[in-house]
Structure 1
């Protein structure tokens, strides 16, 4: 037998079994009509309450804005007359209205910017302190948040009082500063700045608590990786923390705009129920037209224009949230 005959023949692997034929998928189960109706049934009580609480006032507001309605119509001496868009024409053609709109927008933007910046700074600082300090700060935030607006406004009114105000006394202790007797409400910009501080003070707790909850969802691994790549504190915040918090920031900013555009009790109480012309915002301006001038129709028209303006803000908010949902 030769050497070639002594070699072991190579083993041939057995053929692989053919894969089983694909089983055709059955038709997808369609949602039944009862399943599609379940969410609406669950939402029905809430929708019913909203219709009962907000439906009638909104319909009545729209109706009044297209009518001539004063004290004579209120007491039933004369019937309400339809005037079409006359109320809106008068309001939109009034220069005082546009001055109030501009003042309201500047006021709301200032409140929102300060609220978001201060709230973000406090929320970031709370991540760096010990647990008991964070607990004390959260208790103080909740206490200030739960304080009634009228009480908070009265406290701020005392703090900035021209004769007995604590703020003037503290400023006067600075070298070369004499603020005793200074009246912060002698001019509109200074008075609105004080009211802006009041609004920010009441809004910051909600922003801080919400952002603190959002910061717990920021991955620590991404922050450490950014620091290893040489990013500083600002770089980590800009490229890691802020993108994660973007949906929350968009929501808080939009809600703050809506709330700050609707500020009423702070201005009304701070000015003793009679805000001067330089303190008028859209809410107080609508109130004065309706209940001081007794032109309820024109006051309703101003209120309806305010609602339309706020709906534009809500539309921007919904668009941003839909974009965020598509990216995710």
Structure 2
């Protein structure tokens, strides 16, 4: 089924609006809690700008049409105005870059979240560095593929003679989709040590497995998008519609844990009659301290302790496997006593 331009526009508007609402909610909650300024705040603002820019671009190229749709879906595009086709085809290239930027910004937000809750775990730290490198390299590769798949570039808006398969941008699509899936798997691998760390309560396990479910859902949406686009011969309306859906899903997956965690902290403090500690309103960009940023999980202080400290407390009763080894990340609070919990293999 080939979607028409109005369907793609309506879905695009809805997904963009929902994505901006999610990001704006995170921003408002963050400032309400007076959390310190950090890179996640910058990425949230940039994400909103990119998403708004993409939906504006989509609006125009869906109206103007593209050379690819004239060649392979002539019934859905008026090809009488070559100038409009050229403009639409150029805007498609810009929209693909903006989509990649929006998706990769959400990956960066999720990577910052995982990095924070797994800080001090050696294996997770290594995977985090690999993931950051993959984010940068794959983004560059996708942008290059966007503009270089058709050479010379004017083949993107050429109708006669037929420029060939390059206008369908399958290479760009595959690089983007496969890279997205691989990075999502890396993110899930970073969170895996949390399950092996120790025995947890039912609510903690629900929170943990919810993270895995959200990450898996993101991968499923990416696969569905790839399959449908190939099935419809890279129809631009199909690409636009499912790109909007994937952007919304990625935005939800990347921000839901932080929003939920912030609301949970506020509710817990409200119930206990405590006031939220103010952050550093004019602080520098950087990594916030752990007490300032309770998130999806209420992480126990065992995560921040070295194996020696854990064994001395009786928490660690078996050798740590390589995936759950620790680094000494400095002194931590000793305000709460811990009952000995055997390490879960």
TM-score scaled by length of structure 2: 0.29
Higher relative contact order (CA 8 A, sep 6+): 2
Bigger CA radius of gyration: 1
TM-score scaled by length of structure 1: 0.30
